[in-house]
Amino acid sequence: MTNLLDSTRERILAAAEELFARTGVATTSLRAITALARVNLAAVNYHFGSKDGLVEAVYRRRLEPLNRARLSNLEKVEAAAGGAPPALEDVMEAFIVPVVKLGQDPAQGGPTVMRLLGQTHTEAAGYFRTYFAGEYREVLERYQDVLARILPDLPPEQIKNRLAFLVGAMTYPIAERQLLELLTGEEVCRQDIDTMMKQLVPFAVAGFRAPPVSSRRKRASSTRKKSSSTRSRQ
């Protein structure tokens, strides 16, 4: 009985993952999922309670291993550094490489889960923002702490922003494959995307090493002070 229940649950998850990756969460109905999984609606309600519960389960089974890999990689990088700030290149690899491996491993969803992640970032529904914030919080905070040690002159807010830029850069080749093909004039295959993801390491390193950017408020304040000083001298 347990094996049958597990099999039913896995069929529902696999069907939902495939349809979410193909057409998005909002436009995928439970009826379409149950038809592909060859189960009835009661089975979805039994295992997940609702569509929202199913969505969360689909993403959790992919994001939890991804986040564990990122944290494990970071721990190894820090241990190898022996108490000193680790190399920025190693930290970027620790963050990026698990996504590349995820896309290459059919057991972890392979190309389907990559399309799923890209679809989600594109869709950006309200409950995604809440769920993703919770799933990513520990990972992002750990990486922000390490990056602050490596780049002490970079303000925390700019470290946070640059991590967000990195996530966006990782998502773009996956979610916007058609646009990428229009820009390059060539068909983009899975191997091309894997190569692009690996090229993100030096790209990300250069981005994080860029000097801090002064805020507009500070520049405006500085301009006012200079103007005031000029008027007083006059």
pLDDT score recorded for residue 177: 52
The count of C-alpha atoms lying within 13 angstroms of the C-alpha of 59, restricted to the half-sphere facing its C-beta, is 24
Could you tell me the residue ranges of all domains in the chain?
57-213
Q: Which residues of the chain have pLDDT under 70?
A: 1-6, 120-133, 171-197, 215-234
pLDDT per position as a tens digit, 74-87: 999 999 999 999 99
pLDDT per position as a tens digit, 188-228: 555 555 666 678 899 999 999 999 998 665 554 555 555 55
Q: Which CATH superfamily is domain 57-213 in?
A: Tetracycline Repressor, domain 2 (1.10.357.10)
Confirm whether pTM is higher than 0.95: no
Give the CA angle between residues 100, 202, 77 to the nearest 5°: 70
* Nearest 10 degrees: Cα torsion 34, 106, 122, 24: -10
pLDDT score recorded for residue 70: 95
Helix locations, 86-215, DSSP H: 88-104, 110-123, 126-150, 156-175, 177-184, 190-209
How much of the chain is helix, strand and coil, in % rounded to 5? 85, 0, 15
Distance CA 28, CA 55 (A): 11
How many CB atoms sit inside 10 A of residue 13's CB? Answer: 20
pLDDT score recorded for residue 183: 46
- The DSSP letter of residue 137 is H
- The DSSP letter of residue 212 is P
